[in-house]
Amino acid sequence: MNGTVTLPPGKTARLPFAAGLLLALAAVLLIGEAFARLSLPKDIRQQFGQDPTQERIYKPDPELGADYRSFDDYRALNAFHLGRLGPLDQPKPTWLLFGNSFVQGPGHLADTAERMLPETRIFALKRFVDLPLRAAEARQLLSQGLRPQRIFFVMQPIDQLQIGKRPLSFIEVNTDGAITSRLRWPDQPWTYAVAGSRLATIAWIRSGRAAGDPSFDPRRVTETPSPRVQQDLLRIFRHLGETSRRFNVPVTVVTMPDRTQVLGRAGFGFQDTLAELTKSAGIDFHDARAPFVEAADKMSLYVPDWHFSERGNALLVQELVKAQAAKASTDKAPKAP
């Protein structure tokens, strides 16, 4: 015996194969890492504020996460519709409307209100804005002289999605003025491994675990919001209330129902919670569920994409008129909470 260990023929053949496999895997990972650093997917570029289509006109805000850097930036972004609406300080009675596509979209609530209420200027900028920025918009416009009879801050259960997936505390503004999201990293010892690899970071983001609130369930938006979501909503409403009192302009939060609520498939925990939160914030609240829940032929309230039909939008305008009339004689400005 000479002390040499001889491997069986099968094992000898497997060693080069295993080494080659490891080298090939390492090469693939290195190529993937290089590609990820040179060419980020669009959704990931938005996450880091690197999408060239993102507006770069924002600054950090301690309450809302982000605000417009200046009114000049805001005016440039909304130049077309501000021009269409005319001077901010014109004397014509004005309603300032905020909301999602159900409000701002073509043929929806704002357009229907313009048609049904020709004596009232419906001030709506016809573009989609995240929920917290709507409160920032109100302060921007009022600080420049807009004095509407009332601000209508229209919400649906789906408006929770924005602050559900990205809490206010996870909103960041980068040095270029783009809104980005702070990431939630995995626990140690994986934090540095994931953060140090762009490929691993992309996988972590797409897993959903990097979101500010991974426990948020978008399927349950009609139910009572979690305590964390309630705190974020309360911060937005308090900001609205402070703006309302500062400029002596009343605000009403109006909730329109989700189709599952109208069709009897879901309860109204969201609306019931907002009634309490707006009371705590010292602002008015109007729940527009009744005419929809009580309507005959509920399917006629919707168009095929599940936005409200002309009939549904007319019901909403009537609810705004009702809310305005109920407060006009007594509500000069909300009382402090």
Distance CA 155, CA 128 (A): 13
Length, in residues, of the chain: 337
Q: Are residues 201 and 257 in the same domain?
A: no
Residue 3 in domain: no
Domain ranges, residue 91? 58-167+215-328
Q: Are residues 324 and 181 in the same domain?
A: no
pLDDT tens profile 178-208:
999 888 888 887 787 777 777 778 887 788 8
Residue 84: C-alpha distances to residues 126, 150, 238 (Å)? 11, 20, 31
- Split into its structural domains, the chain has a count of 2
Distance CA 255, CA 274 (A): 8
H or E stretch covering 139: helix 131-143
Q: Are residues 174 and 321 in the same domain?
A: no
Residue 333 in domain: no
Residue 284 in domain: yes
- Buried/exposed code over 138-170 (b: 16+ C-beta within 10 A; e: otherwise): bbbbbeeebebbbbbbbbbbbbbbbbbbbbbeb
Q: Are residues 285 and 187 in the same domain?
A: no
Q: Report the predicted TM-score, pTM, of the whole model to 2 decimal places.
A: 0.85
User: What is the structure's pLDDT at 24?
Assistant: 60
User: What is the structure's pLDDT at 52?
Assistant: 82
Distance CA 271, CA 228 (A): 16
Q: Are residues 183 and 67 in the same domain?
A: no
User: What is the structure's pLDDT at 327?
Assistant: 76
User: What is the structure's pLDDT at 329?
Assistant: 61
Q: Is 65 helix (H, G, I), strand (E, B) or coil?
A: strand
pLDDT in tens, the chain (337 residues): 455 655 555 555 566 656 656 666 665 556 656 656 666 777 777 777 778 888 999 999 999 999 999 999 999 999 999 999 999 998 999 999 999 999 999 999 999 999 999 999 999 999 989 999 999 999 999 999 999 999 999 999 999 998 998 999 999 999 999 999 888 888 887 787 777 777 778 887 788 888 889 899 999 999 999 999 999 999 999 999 999 999 999 999 999 999 999 999 999 999 999 999 999 999 999 999 999 999 999 999 999 999 999 999 999 999 999 888 887 766 554 555 5
List the structure tokens of 222.
């009609």
Cα 81–chain centre separation? 21
- Name which of 54, 27, 26 is nearest 40 in CA terms: 54
User: What is the structure's pLDDT at 6?
Assistant: 58
Query: Given its phi and psi angles, is residue 172 left (phi above 0), alpha (psi -120 to 50 degrees) or beta?
Result: beta
User: What is the structure's pLDDT at 161?
Assistant: 93
Cα 24–chain centre separation? 43
**183, 69 contact by CB (below 8 A):** no
User: What is the structure's pLDDT at 47?
Assistant: 74
- Name which of 84, 120, 100 is nearest 317 in CA terms: 120
Rounded to the nearest 10 degrees, the angle between the axes of helix 269-281 and helix 227-247 is 40
Residue 155 in domain: yes
Residue 139 in domain: yes
- Name which of 279, 262, 293, 316 is nearest 152 in CA terms: 316
List the structure tokens of 142.
């009022």
**Counting Cβ atoms within 10 Å, is residue 286 exposed (0-12), middle (13-18) or buried (19+)?**
buried
Q: Are residues 89 and 181 in the same domain?
A: no
Residue 306 in domain: yes
What's the order of all strands across the beta sheet hosting 150-155? 121-123, 94-98, 150-155, 251-255, 284-287
Distance CA 255, CA 272 (A): 10
Q: Are residues 233 and 324 in the same domain?
A: yes
